[in-house]
Structure 1
Amino acid sequence: MPAIFVGHGSPMNAIEETAYTRQWQQWGQQLPVPKAILVVSAHWLTYGTAITGAAKPETIHDFGGFPAQLYAQQYPAPGDPQLAHQLAKMMGPNVIVDDTRGLDHGVWSVLMHMYPQAEIPVLQLSIDPRLTPQQQYAVGRKLRPLRDQGILIVASGNVVHNLGVMRFDGPAYPWAQEFTDMITTKLQSHDDAAVLDYENLISPQVAQMCHPTDDHLQPLFYLLGTGYDDEPRQLFDNSIDLRAIAMLSIQLG
């Protein structure tokens, strides 16, 4: 099973038709039908690692100031408590199953375009922000066998994410485009070590501008850990939205 990183961008992508959502729709139509979906989203951070274990996870509207239509959206995909416990056991003794946590918009705003019928079981894996990028990559390695079991791994974030300076007009900030282009080059050349050392990819100052907090970049580290050295990588949409939100997506395999 391939594994993907999605630049999820604004929650409004849930209800708007854009170049991004059309790509997500194509993914849902072209990828093998998964047994289940495991999502690592930038919007669930925990000390330690947790997996959702609810049989019917709720749709979390974890944002503010958007139209009522967005808050009315529901993504009633089933969970899979048995699989959640199997994954927790596989990953190690310190991984917990959270049977109350729902799915945040980093999950459902994408999956509602990929799998609009919401018929495939969805689990979410939390991000431990205390881990280094290399340690998060190592967690991804533990997830890699799931791909051989027909489970689709989805990482959801953005390779540039600075909400404080985003604007609705004008071109991408030069630093945002430069960082995105460099990430693209390193991903295409399978230079994962350079991506993990993102603070020195160009300079610490540029990295700080691109990620005042790096929660939206961290899902990529997990995703890269699930990859194989000899598999192809496809990159989609190198554009910058709102001048400071990179929408780059990637498919492994």
Structure 2
Amino acid sequence: MSGETSDNGKMPVLFIGHGSPMNIIQDNSYTQSLVKLGKELPRPEAIMVVSAHWMTDGTYVTCDEKPRTIYDFYGFPRELYNVDYPSPGSPEKAELACRTVKKEPVECSDQWGLDHASWAVLRHMYPEADIPVFEMSIDYSFNEWHPKMMQHHYDMATELRELREQGVLIIGSGNIVHNLGLIDFMNVNAKPYEWAVEFDEKVKANLLSGNHRDLIEYLNMGETAKLAVPTLDHYLPMIYTIALQEKGETLEFTHEGFQHASVSMRCFKIG
């Protein structure tokens, strides 16, 4: 139950498919799974979100005492822009992330806050907004797929494991399948494309088998990969999550499904 510590004192790590901002105000099977997660997880000292919506040249973390709520979406109902998520920040844990990563410099930034990859999820998991939250950006200076680039992100993420020992819940927030060019925006329950289901199922099989190599070099999973992952921004947070899986740790899917035909809402927990 929430508030208890894990058996070995180490926090689990999550990948959350966050999907449309409309999930902020909707009650559906996906948001219900987030509520359930928040009640079942050990209570973290702080939360670090690796965000698909903070792409930078280099890697940064938010070190603010009071991070601002960022409305990084346009054309949605006014109700969404009236929602606030006033959680405190965690400068101490953010600075720990800076010290822990050796593969490339990680620096503090006061130019960001909590975008909807964070607060749209956490609003359901921790509605009281009483747990300190900070974000980590994704270095997008590479911006084109290459095995060495993907491996770089994976290797860097492994260096974050100490944060789990220090009570930090790490969440990669993106989507495994995320093609906005082919989205059925008007129908959240639209039948998913066959190529989307095929790729999502291949990823599922590799997650269960622990085949991180094909997840890193995802173009090896066939032609559907190009449609499922037209850009890397929403896929890379999953790479950060699997990099934190240690030997013997189990992986459990906390939600499966699609929204708007071309967005996989698959979520999972490690540890």
The 4+ residue runs of structure 1 with deviation greater than 4 A are none
Aligned partner of 1:148 in structure 2 is 165
Determine the C-alpha separation between the residues in 2 that align with 1:232 and 1:120: 25
Equivalence map 1:1-253=2 (5 Å): 1-92=11-102, 94-130=105-141, 132-167=149-184, 168=187, 170-203=190-223, 206-253=224-271
- CA-based RMSD of the aligned residues comes to 1.2
Deviation of 1:46 after TM superposition, in Å, equals 0.6
Which moved further from structure 2: 38-47 or 139-148? 139-148
Q: TM-score normalized by structure 1?
A: 0.96
Letter of the 1:127 counterpart: I
Distance (whole Å) between structure 1 residues aligned to residue 79 and residue 192 of structure 2:
29
Uncovered stretches (5+) of structure 1, i.e. residues with no partner: none
Aligned residue pairs, count: 251
Give the partner amino acid of 1:174. Answer: E
Contact between 2:157 and 2:244, CA under 8 Å: does it hold in 1? yes
Secondary structure, aligned partner of 1:154: strand
SS of residue matched to 2:53: strand
Q: Paired residue for 2:146?
A: none
Whether the 8 Å CA contact 1:4–1:249 is kept in 2: the answer is yes
Q: Percent identity?
A: 41
Secondary structure of 2:240 counterpart: helix
Does the 8 A contact of 1:134 with 1:221 survive in 2? no
Pairwise CA distance, 1:224: 0.9
TM-score, length of structure 2 as denominator length? 0.90
Contact 2:16–2:174 (CA under 8 A) maintained in structure 1: yes
CA positional deviation for 1:65: 0.5
Alpha-carbon contact 2:96-2:163 (below 8 Å) kept: no
Instruction: Select between 68-77 and 142-151 the one with higher mean Cα deviation.
Output: 142-151
